Amino acid sequence: MGIKDIKGTGIKDWRGQLDWMRRNANAGGLAATPYYLSLANMNLDGDPILAQLKMSGDGTALGSEKESSDPLGEDEQSPVPRLVHRYSDRALLLATNRCAVRCAFCLRGRIWRGGGDVSSWMVSESELDDIAKYLEKRRRIREVLISGGDPLVLETSDLRRIITRISRLPNIRVIRVGSRVPVVLPSRVDAELVDCLASFPGLWLATHFNHPRELTKEALGACRALVSRGVPVLNQTVLLKGVNDAPDTLERLFAELAAHRVKPHYLFHVDPARGCARFATGVERGLEIMKALRGRLSSVATPVFAIDLPGGGGKVPLLPDYSRGDGAFEALDGAVIPYPFHGSCFGS
């Protein structure tokens, strides 16, 4: 099926959408649900939807010597299969290697390309046993991020089984589920799934909108369904050259998300993963954008700009430098104003 035929598929069922994607993953060199592809403007050069999907070359070769198939060193920080333990207080559980979209800037392309340790498409019972034993022995771990792949492409019964097993550990207080499903397959967010997620205290959903064009009534409706049942929804955005690297674009995106009670959480510079160099804006451009958004967005709508260091070095939050020396700082209008309490506190 060619890309021009995608809008006519008319598939409403979320399972049918996923099945269509798997059967037509090579149509036009793209792999996404019919719903997400329907958002693209095929006549627009540099369309922000298509740009997120078009692989570099065959999607396997490194486009730069600075790229890596595992840029964050996740495989080296995996004490048991499907678990990454980098930070002392939290861990990452890779529940599946399947997604509802294959992003061209994917951090874990090594998994769905078949080059990683995750050989089966879903975490097994024995793997879950090993993960639970590891987490229970390390009481400093209190938060688990369930990601993949995309855990929301699993059947709700399977997702419930995984979350239940982890949530019953006495030291786990917070569970985050990372998913692009509200963006690329909103019909998956049905009543059964919402009931499941809402039944777990301490559960958050972290989704991934990158561009205002993705803010459809269906996608925002999926977020509303979760928030209205008490599931907090965060958003992480990846800064992508040629897609969203403009202050006006990101202002519209973040302001609209906040208006629908979706908190813009992170704005990440793209990772140096395989095929991602063409999306890199450079850190300085990200800082310029964050500076431009100052005064245009409140803290409710402003994410943290961050990079993830190679080799498992962790996230580094970054801010523009407003210091102008001698205890003075740049004001909203560009004026330089001294701050009276700069330096040591006053004596009694």
Least confident span in 22-31, 189-198, 292-301, 322-331: 22-31
The rounded radius of gyration (Å) of the Cα atoms in the chain is 21
Between CA 212 and CA 237 the distance in angstroms is: 11
Whether the Cβ atoms of residue 173 and residue 203 lie closer than 8 Å to each other: no
Between CA 62 and CA 60 the distance in angstroms is: 7
Q: What is the pLDDT of residues 62-93, one digit of tens each?
A: 455 566 777 777 888 999 999 999 999 999 99
The verdict on residue 332 lying in a domain is no
Least confident span in 4-13, 172-181, 296-305: 4-13
Report residue 30's pLDDT band, with 50, 70 and 90 as the boundaries: confident
Counting residues of the chain whose pLDDT is more than 70, the rounded percentage is: 89
Between CA 81 and CA 232 the distance in angstroms is: 29
Angle formed by the axes of helices 191-198 and 217-227, nearest 10°: 40
Between CA 284 and CA 111 the distance in angstroms is: 30
The verdict on residue 9 lying in a domain is yes
Q: What is the pLDDT of residues 228-276, one digit of tens each?
A: 999 999 999 999 999 999 999 999 999 999 999 999 999 999 998 888 9
pLDDT reported for residue 42: 83
List residues with catalytic annotation: 86-87, 90, 99, 103, 106, 108, 271, 308, 315
Between CA 250 and CA 53 the distance in angstroms is: 19
pLDDT reported for residue 57: 54
pLDDT reported for residue 313: 93
3-state secondary structure of 4: helix
pLDDT reported for residue 71: 76
Between CA 184 and CA 230 the distance in angstroms is: 22
CA dihedral 123→126→127→133, nearest 10 degrees, is 140
Average pLDDT of span 113-130: 76
CATH label of the domain that carries residue 112:
3.20.20.70
The token pair at 125 is 């019972």
Q: Look at residue 118 and tell me whether its pLDDT is greater than 50.
A: no
Tell me which DSSP letter residue 54 carries: P
Domains of the chain: total? 1
- Which residues are within 8 A (CB) of 41 and not within 5 positions of it... i.e. 6 or more apart? 47, 49
The verdict on residue 333 lying in a domain is no
Average pLDDT of span 106-113: 72
The verdict on residue 154 lying in a domain is yes
Whether the Cβ atoms of residue 46 and residue 244 lie closer than 8 Å to each other: no
pLDDT reported for residue 60: 46
The verdict on residue 77 lying in a domain is yes
Report residue 2's pLDDT band, with 50, 70 and 90 as the boundaries: very low
The verdict on residue 326 lying in a domain is no
Report residue 117's pLDDT band, with 50, 70 and 90 as the boundaries: very low
pLDDT reported for residue 116: 44
pLDDT reported for residue 113: 59
Average pLDDT of span 140-144: 98
Look up the domain containing 164 and give its range. 3-318
pLDDT reported for residue 284: 98
Average pLDDT of span 134-160: 97
Average pLDDT of span 330-336: 96
Q: Look at residue 9 and tell me whether its pLDDT is greater than 90.
A: no
Tell me what the pLDDT averaged over the chain comes to: 90
The verdict on residue 203 lying in a domain is yes
